[in-house]
């Protein structure tokens, strides 16, 4: 199905199942421990061996020698795979650093060997017996701040240049020129990367893995090993969190495949938790200079955002200026992005790449600017709203209700009663502050296919290689098919994550929900056409599907009867047409936060948070809300605690486990409220829906930071807002 014009009224509009809060259909499996994650699939292949990886102890250089003799002789060891025994393996285009092969070291904990043994204990013990000798290269260092000055002398990449920024900024009545930093962050999903691989014959590879993008994973394995797609099978039905770190093939799959190729047996590999932060990817550290100029009335006249991030050579770093070209109005604009090459582990996508860290800076800047103008920060944002691309006014937002988010949020939160004077409201030992911020995240959708199989018993099965990384895909796909076929959700079985199924959009970039449900819709439309044909009616849209029956004219037939001779199968793909390129598709949020900061210790508690979201039609309010509150939790982490600490001497992240890299726990999370505006975006998909999985994280950290300032009167521009940064500037007890 080609989606070539805005959606008009269609069967998905009935909203009998879609749009209703629906508990996850995979919930009973997840809550009883019966949902199978990658490492747990004892049943898929007999005689599984266990692989344990070894990571490089240097950041940059090469291996001079690797002595594995003791490891090979250790009890239970079946094979030792060494990077030095092979040329560098191929690389999927989205990976920046090759995952294995050859003596070159490009980052710390790069995989350099795998010990395959009968048991985990034996493999782990033997790995510790490997002796490695390195030649370490001198590099330009790992300290972004120290390299900033030199980097500023290089030409950056201009993302947007409109009008004459420098002049407008120089002439503006009120200006702000500040620099903000965001640290490197780790996805820290709860399920470590894990794969069971079985290599058979000359090049048939099956992997049971944990990956967000099944088709990319197939392609990645083909690129790494020079295989044909027909010979690679990937299965990833349950994924214990990804947040971007499981978008592409990673070392677990490559190592497991190598181990299986070597031993002829299935091999399973999980990355040890302490290896994940440095072996895999992270969100890049950024330094962002923001300049805003405005008239006395608050109208922005000039906006400049100069972002800088670290990356492996050839990588993409963190595009922290992503939102700035279009989020606020202003006739003069200069937006620049700079990459600083560094041999830290690979910087790559983490939940809302770009906007998450960009808004951490921009939305503090907006708060500071509002203060300089003596304006309510809600009002300041509202008057600088834009309905078109400020750099290309011909290009409008398909739907943008940001101002409504702001207004509703202010109303519901009780913004009028906020603390107005920074550092002035106190409850006992606690300083109380209120803050807000805007949220923005693009809403892409992309080609996605599905197959629907109507069963003789009147139930339906949906198959697509889409993944559910906690996003609720199983359930919204079931809801879509149920809506389209007039069934209850309990009459739809959804099968995901298998590369033998039609290729979906996969889970990433907030495109999964909108794309995969549109693909399911397309397949269901096709199934409805086939049913219409069988009923002798050319016009499928004249059919009414309800309660397991289909009605045409005055005839009502149960679906069981229609499929009584055997299942009816329909498969289709949604393709998104060019007409959408005339628009910007995006999602918006307004975040409001109340914090309490302890006047003695500087400890910060987020007491209350509210997000008002504009994300098109919400398919399942229950799981959509969970996505948003989950993003908000991650935003509290970004604001208050998360930081991959760089050992700038040796070039690695020092706090590379869940004890050192702190993420929010139960004690950090208090009241959370989410409101979805009742909007539809007909330009987005036939279901008029947009993604919401990343929006919750966008802007929230700045809202916390602004509330922290409002509580303490101390403005911190370096995330995270740990208590050491505020302790000596707090008011007297």
Partner 1 sequence: MSPRNPTWRVKRRTVLMGSAAAALATASNTGFPRMSHAQEAAAPVGETRMTVSLVVNGEPRELELDNRTTLLDALREHIRLTGTKKGCDHGQCGACTVTVNGRRINSCLSLAVMHEGDEIETIEGIGTPESMDPMQAAFVEHDGYQCGYCTPGQICSARAVLAEIEAGIPSHVTADLMAPMQVTEDEIRERMSGNICRCGAYSNMMAAILQVHGGQA
Q: Structure tokens of 462? A: 């949906």
Is residue 546 at the binding interface for ligand FES, with CB under 6 A as the rule? Answer: no
Question: How many Å apart are CA 691 and CA 484, to the nearest integer?
Answer: 20
Q: In angstroms, what is the minimal distance from the CB of 248 to ligand FES?
A: 20
- Residue 466: CB minimum distance to partner 1, A: 15
The pattern of x and - marking residues 395 through 434 that bind ligand FES according to CB under 6 A reads ----------------------------------------
Q: Which is nearer to partner 1, 133 or 427 (CB)?
A: 133
Is 188 or 375 the residue whose CB approaches ligand FES more closely?
Answer: 188
Report the distance separating Cα 550 and Cα 554, nearest Å: 10
Binding mask 429-468 toward ligand FES (x if CB under 6 A, else -) reads: ----------------------------------------
Dist. CA 112–CA 279, nearest whole Å: 10
Indicate the residue whose CB is closest to ligand FES: 190
Contact partner, 568, from partner 1, ligand FES, none, Cβ < 5-8 Å per class? none
Residue number with CB closer to ligand FES (635 or 651)? 635
Q: Going by C-beta distance under 8 Å and a sequence separation of 6 or more, which residues neighbour residue 198?
A: 44, 45, 205, 206, 207, 260, 265, 266
Q: Residue 733 touches which of ligand FES, partner 1, none (CB < 5 to 8 A by kind)?
A: none
Report in angstroms how near the CB of residue 602 gets to partner 1 at its nearest: 19
Q: In angstroms, what is the minimal distance from the CB of 41 to partner 1? A: 8
Q: What is the rounded CA–CA span in Å between residue 698 and residue 351?
A: 9
Q: What are the C-alpha distances in Å from 686 to residues 362, 449, 502, 542?
A: 33, 14, 19, 18
Please say whether the beta carbons of 285 and 357 come within 8 A.
Answer: no
Give the three-class secondary structure for 236: coil
Which option in ligand FES, partner 1, none does residue 270 bind, with CB closer than 5 to 8 A by kind?
A: partner 1
Min dist CB 696 to ligand FES, Å, is: 14
Answer yes or no: are the C-beta atoms of 589 and 401 closer than 8 Å: no
Contact set for ligand FES, span 186-215 (CB under 6 A): 190
**Residue tagged active-site, from 122, 346, 483, 694:** 694
Cα of first residue to Cα of last residue in the chain, in angstroms, is 66
Written as one string, the DSSP assignment of 95-130 is -SS--S-SSEE-STT-EEEEEEESSHHHHHHHHTT-
Smallest separation, CB 533 to partner 1 (Å): 38
Shortest spacing between CB 217 and ligand FES, in angstroms: 20
Within 131-160, the residues that bind ligand FES by CB under 6 A are none
463 assigned to active site: no
Q: How many chain residues interact with ligand FES (CB under 6 A)? A: 3
Phi and psi based region of residue 341 (left: phi greater than 0; alpha: psi -120 to 50; beta: remaining): beta
Q: Please, are residues 465 and 496 in contact by the beta-carbon 8 Å criterion? A: yes
Residue number, 210 or 324, with CB nearest to partner 1 = 210
Nearer to partner 1, 133 or 421 (CB): 133
Q: Two tokens at 14? A: 């009935």
Of 11 and 470, nearer to ligand FES (C-beta) is: 470
Q: What does 275 interact with, of partner 1, ligand FES, none (CB < 5 to 8 A by kind)?
A: partner 1
Residue numbers 66-125 binding ligand FES by CB under 6 A:
none
Residue 520 β-bridge partners: none
Q: Could you give the C-alpha distances from 497 to 9, 27, 239, 249, 494, in angstroms and in order? A: 31, 17, 9, 14, 10
User: Out of partner 1, ligand FES, none, which partner does residue 634 contact, by CB within 5 to 8 A per kind?
Assistant: partner 1
Secondary structure of residue 69 in the 3-state scheme = helix
Judged by beta carbon, residue 604 or residue 626, the one nearer ligand FES is 626
What are 104's strand-pairing partners? 62
**Shortest distance in whole angstroms from residue 671 CB to ligand FES:** 19
Between CA 68 and CA 54 the distance in angstroms is 11
The binder of 33, among partner 1, ligand FES, none, by C-beta within 5 to 8 A per type, is: partner 1
470 binds ligand FES (CB under 6 A): yes
Handedness of CA 168, 169, 171, 173 (dihedral sign): positive
At a CB cut-off of 8 Å and minimum separation 6, what does 288 contact? 179, 180, 181, 182, 305, 306, 307, 308, 320, 321, 357, 358, 361, 362
Residues 217 and 205: their CA atoms lie apart, in Å, by 12
- Of 311, 285, 294, 292, nearest to 157 (Cα)? 311
Give the nearer residue to ligand FES in terms of CB position, either 170 or 190: 190
Return d(Cα 462, Cα 669) in angstroms, integer. 37
Q: Is residue 244 a contact residue for ligand FES (CB under 6 A)?
A: no
For ligand FES, the binding residues in 6-25 under the rule CB under 6 A are: none
Quote the tokens at residue 5: 């014009």
Nearer to ligand FES, 470 or 616 (CB): 470
Q: Which does 472 bind (CB under 5 to 8 A by kind): partner 1, ligand FES, none?
A: partner 1
Q: Shortest distance, CB of residue 285 to partner 1, whole angstroms? A: 17
Q: Which residues are within 8 A (CB) of 491 and not within 5 positions of it... i.e. 6 or more apart?
A: 458, 459, 460, 482, 548
Residue 473 in tokens:
């895909």
The item of ligand FES, partner 1, none sharing an interface with residue 626, based on CB under 5 to 8 Å by kind, is partner 1
For ligand FES, the binding residue among 36, 203, 241, 660 (CB under 6 A) is 241
Q: Which does 715 bind (CB under 5 to 8 A by kind): ligand FES, partner 1, none?
A: none
Q: Among all residues, which ones are annotated catalytic?
A: 694
Note the residues at the interface with ligand FES (CB under 6 A).
Answer: 190, 241, 470
């Amino acid at each position: 199905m080609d989606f070539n014009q805005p959606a008009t009224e269609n069967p998905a509009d009935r909203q009998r199942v879609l749009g209703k809060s629906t508990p996850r259909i995979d919930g009973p499996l997840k809550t009883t421990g019966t949902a199978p994650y990658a490492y747990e699939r004892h049943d898929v292949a007999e005689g599984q061996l266990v692989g344990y990886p070894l990571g490089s102890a240097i950041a940059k250089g090469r291996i001079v020698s690797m002595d594995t003799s003791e490891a090979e002789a250790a009890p239970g060891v079946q094979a030792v795979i060494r990077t030095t025994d092979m040329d560098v393996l191929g690389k999927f285009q989205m990976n920046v650093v090759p995952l294995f092969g050859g003596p070159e070291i490009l980052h710390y904990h790069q995989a350099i060997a795998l010990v395959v043994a009968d048991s985990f204990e034996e493999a782990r013990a033997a790995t510790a017996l490997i002796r490695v000798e390195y030649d370490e290269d001198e590099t330009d260092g790992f300290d972004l701040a120290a390299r900033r000055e030199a980097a500023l002398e290089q030409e950056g990449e201009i993302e947007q240049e409109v009008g004459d920024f420098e002049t407008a900024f120089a002439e503006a009545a009120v200006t702000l020129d500040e620099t903000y930093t965001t640290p490197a962050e780790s996805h820290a999903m709860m399920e470590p990367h894990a794969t069971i691989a079985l290599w058979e014959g000359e090049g048939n590879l099956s992997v049971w893995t944990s990956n967000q993008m099944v088709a990319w994973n197939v392609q990645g394995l083909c690129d790494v090993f020079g295989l044909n797609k027909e010979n690679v099978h990937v299965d990833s039905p349950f994924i214990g969190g990804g947040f971007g770190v499981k978008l592409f093939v990673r070392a677990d799959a490559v190592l497991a495949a190598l181990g299986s190729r070597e031993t002829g047996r299935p091999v399973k590999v999980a990355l040890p938790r302490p290896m994940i932060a440095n072996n895999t990817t992270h969100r890049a550290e950024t330094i962002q200079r923001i300049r805003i100029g405005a008239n006395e009335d608050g109208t922005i006249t000039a906006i400049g955002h100069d972002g800088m991030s670290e990356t492996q050579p050839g990588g993409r770093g963190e595009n922290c200026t992503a939102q700035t070209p279009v989020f606020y109005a202003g006739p003069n604009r200069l937006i620049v992005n700079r990459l600083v090459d560094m041999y830290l582990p690979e910087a790559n996508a983490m939940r809302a790449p770009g906007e998450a860290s960009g808004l951490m800076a921009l939305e503090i800047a907006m708060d500071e600017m509002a203060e300089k103008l003596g304006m309510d920060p809600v009002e300041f944002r509202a008057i600088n709203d834009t309905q078109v691309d400020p750099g290309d006014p011909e290009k409008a937002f398909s739907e943008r209700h940001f101002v409504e988010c702001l207004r509703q949020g202010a109303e519901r939160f009780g913004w009028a009663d906020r603390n107005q004077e920074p550092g002035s409201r106190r409850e006992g030992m606690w300083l109380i502050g209120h803050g807000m911020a805007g949220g923005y995240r693009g809403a892409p959708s992309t080609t996605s296919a599905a197959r629907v199989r109507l069963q003789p018993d009147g139930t339906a099965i949906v198959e697509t290689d889409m993944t559910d990384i906690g996003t609720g895909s199983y359930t919204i796909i079931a809801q879509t098919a149920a809506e389209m076929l007039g069934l209850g959700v309990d009459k739809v079985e959804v099968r995901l994550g298998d590369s033998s199924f039609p290729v979906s959009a996969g889970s990433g970039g907030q495109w999964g929900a909108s794309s995969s449900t549109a693909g399911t819709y397309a397949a269901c439309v096709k199934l409805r056409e086939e049913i219409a044909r069988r009923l002798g009616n050319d016009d499928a849209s004249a059919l009414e599907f309800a309660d397991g029956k289909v009605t045409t004219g005055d005839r009502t037939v149960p679906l069981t009867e229609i499929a009584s001779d055997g299942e009816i199968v329909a498969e289709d793909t949604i393709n998104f047409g060019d007409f959408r390129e005339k628009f910007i598709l995006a999602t918006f949020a307004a975040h409001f936060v109340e914090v309490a900061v302890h006047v003695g210790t500087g400890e910060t508690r987020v007491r209350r948070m509210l997000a008002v979201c504009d994300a098109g039609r919400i398919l399942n309010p229950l799981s959509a809300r969970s996505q948003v509150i989950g993003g908000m939790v991650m935003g509290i982490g970004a604001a208050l605690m998360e930081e991959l600490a760089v050992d700038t001497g040796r070039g690695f992240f020092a706090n590379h486990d869940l004890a050192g890299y702190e993420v929010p726990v139960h004690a950090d999370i208090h009241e959370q409220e989410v409101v979805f505006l009742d909007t539809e975006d007909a330009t987005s998909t036939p279901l008029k829906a947009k993604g919401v999985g990343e929006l919750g994280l966008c802007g929230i950290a700045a809202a916390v930071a602004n509330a922290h300032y409002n509580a303490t009167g101390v403005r911190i521009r370096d995330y995270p807002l740990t208590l050491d940064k505020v302790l000596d500037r707090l008011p007297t007890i």
